[in-house]
Amino acid sequence: MSVIAIVGAGQGMGQAIGKLFGKQGHKVALLSRDPAKLEPVVAELTGAGIEAAAFRADVTDIASIKSGLSAVKQRFGAIGVLEYSPSNVTLPQVSASQITRDTLQPWIDFQLYGAIAAVAEVLPEMLERKSGTILVTTGASSVRPDKSYAPFAAAGVAMGALRNWAAALHAEVAPSGVQVGHVAIGTFIGQSAATSADAIAPLYWDLHTERDVLERVFG
């Protein structure tokens, strides 16, 4: 049974992704800064017959990422799928003309460096096994910054860098059997049934199974 580790999990996309992959036979590891808040998610997944547990990982703290993913491996075994989708509404929301180093750096740390650190904990084993999937999530501003809401500019710069890195990583490791995929979400999740987390989650399964595809854009 494979294991999916969802970094930045919550009662939204993380829950929906965990449910979908769990129904396909994956053990589900949910990682966040406050794993106690994930207890309702764990309860729902286990109630559906999915083996799931919550772990602590702060994506701005490399030591925390290392310890969190290590705990997942000790509990469930090797990680076959890593999904990275943290969110933090307290980070600076500024337009392109207002970006400074101080407003951009927190986003770079949160989106790009956190993802790089998390991937570093699973990629060597995936390459050794010649199998595995890495999935990263951004907003649609990573793809079309000219069409995005102006205050999302700083986030978009960091997400664009994450998208760029994911594409380069995909090109590098795909020949070794490791899939890297990117989902860009261009909607406020949950405003309708059509934009629910459950409606978006299949894009992640598509990228996991259609291994020659790099990107899916929703909205």
pLDDT for the residue numbered 191? 83
pLDDT value at 77 more than 90: yes
Specify the DSSP class assigned to residue 211. Answer: T
Q: What is the average pLDDT value for the chain, to the nearest integer?
A: 96
Domains of the chain by start residue, with CATH: 3-218 (3.40.50.720)
**CB-based contact 155:137 (threshold 8 Å):** no
Q: What is the mean pLDDT of residues 116-128?
A: 98
Rounded Cα distance between 24 and 39, Å, is 21
> Do 111 and 135 touch, CB atoms closer than 8 A?
no
What percent helix, strand, coil does the chain show, rounded to 5?
A: 50, 20, 30
Using CB atoms within 10 Å of the CB of residue 191, give its burial: 0 to 12 exposed, 13 to 18 middle, 19+ buried. Answer: exposed
Sheet holding 215-218, edge to edge: 52-56, 27-32, 3-7, 81-84, 132-139, 178-185, 215-218
59-69 burial, b at 16+ Cβ within 10 Å, e below that, comes to bebbebbebbb
Predicted local confidence at residue 107, as pLDDT: 97
Write out pLDDT tens, residues 184-196: 999 888 788 888 9
Question: pLDDT tens for residues 148-172?
Answer: 888 999 999 999 999 999 999 999 9
User: Per this entry, what is the length of the chain?
Assistant: 219
pLDDT in tens, 128-145: 999 999 999 999 999 998
> How much of the chain, in percent, has pLDDT values that exceed 90?
91
Average pLDDT over residues 102-127: 98
Interhelix angle for 13-23 vs 39-47, to 10°?
A: 20
Tokens 């199998």 appear where? 131
